[in-house]
Structures are given as C-alpha cells and as structure tokens.
Chains A and B, each alone.
Chain A
Amino acid sequence: MNPPPGVDARVINTPEGALQSILSGAPMRKGRVRLELPPIAENGHSVGMTVKVDSPMSEADHVRRIELIADKNPVPRVATFLLGPHNGRAEVESRLRLNGTQRVTAIAQLSDGSFWFDAVDVTVNELACLDGG
C-alpha cells in the first residue's frame, strides 16, 4: 500500500516501520490468530494464504481488522482486511506475492483494541519481484 500523506515511505517500508504503523506502540500477543502458508513455495508469484482468528464474531467480541506483513517485500504492508460481527467467521484467504524467503506475519485487532499475531517462515525458491516475472 502507498503510505498515507505525511508518512515517510522509507520508514514505513521496513518491517519495523510497517509494524509500528499498525500498532502505534501497543503490544501484540501471540495466539488466537492462525496464519496458514506453505513452508516452501516453488515461486513467489502466487502463494496461497489463509488467516483464521479464534473469535465468536459477536457484537461484543469480534475481529475489527487483519493486517499482513511480508518482511522482505519492497512494500512490507501487503494488505489490510476490515471485518466485523456481520462476517460470522473471522477467516480470509488470498494469494500473496513474496519477494524471496521471509517471515510473514498476520496481526488481528479485536473489538477491544488488543492485537494478536501469528508468523510463518516461508522458503521461496524463485523470487517474485525480479524482472521477467
């Protein structure tokens, strides 16, 4: 994603900057989120990804958003999914482009504001961002 106005692209496009732009200093805990990615991907052009969050998805307790960070992508903030109680189940599947072997992190923000995460290391045999791809 392009950074919002006033945000330095050189900062947000590091894994730490991406994380900071999501958490703004708030802590995140491991758990409740399950990120499913293959441990080895033949190439990085299209890697299947599923995020599941353990949540009743009720008015009182639901997932507000899910963020994805790919550490070694030129733009680490890959996607933001906005959810709510009307989804019934906190599960999103998509396909990622991965620029090489790296760690992918999924962060879920719940309705109480807390952050939970899961991370997966993916070995990519052929990069996605090289020319001719």
Chain B
Amino acid sequence: MTARIQVPPKARRGEAVEVRIVIQHPMETGFRYDAMGGRTPRNVIHTLVCRYGGAEVFRADMGAGIAANPFLRFFVRASEPGDIECSWVDSENASGTVSARLTVAV
C-alpha cells in the first residue's frame, strides 16, 4: 500500500500544525459483484493511529463509509521536534506505516 503524509516544513512550539494523509486502498464495501456474479469481499482500513514523538495523538475507526483511497486531515500541537507516524490495518490484516519529521523552532 502506498501512502503519503504531509506536514508543514517548519512549526513553532505550541502551534497547531496540519497533518494530511492519504492511503491507496479500495475500501471495498462488500456490496460489489464482479462480472462472474461473485461478491467482492469487504476490505476496509478499519483502524488508523497517529503518534507524535511516540505518544498517540489521533485515532480513526473507519468503515466502508469512508471513500476509497482514504484521506484525512487533522491537527497536532507542535511541542518537541519529532516524527509524526501514522499506521493502519485493514480487514485482511494488511498494515502500513508512513511518517514525517516535524521540525519545531524553539
């Protein structure tokens, strides 16, 4: 699974910085049928967790109601320089991680 994370290049301490993440994933609803009449099994990224400097700062529990190639934008208050790391897992237990370095001016 390919994924992309974006954080601002620089942040000031205390500032709420915008984190954007997009993951390539079909988010299969389980309601679709192929040409042979077989049902495409449901497969969604159900959990996404983001950590900043090792501490959890954002969590999303999702279902097929989130569009394919899920996109999320949220905020994190900059404190110390560190990595913002997001990991996720889907219904087939496939997982992935993507991270970005947050540079904080003291």
Chain A interface residues toward B at CB < 8 A: 1-2, 45-47, 50, 57, 68, 70, 73-98, 129, 131-133
Contacts and interface: CB of A to CB of B under 8 A. Distances in A.
B1 interface: no
A87 B31 contact: no
Nearest to A132: B32
Interface of B: 14-17, 27, 29, 31-33, 46, 52, 55, 57-68, 70-79
Given A84-B57, A131-B33, A78 B65 contact: yes
Contacts of B73: 50, 91-94
Contact of B59 (A2, A81, A131): A81
Contacts of B15: 88
Contacts of A87: 16, 57-58, 74-77
Given A82-B58, A131-B33, A96 B74 contact: no
B22 to A, nearest CB: 10
A81 B14 CA distance: 22
A79 B33 CA distance: 24
A95 B75 contact: no
A1 to B, nearest CB: 4
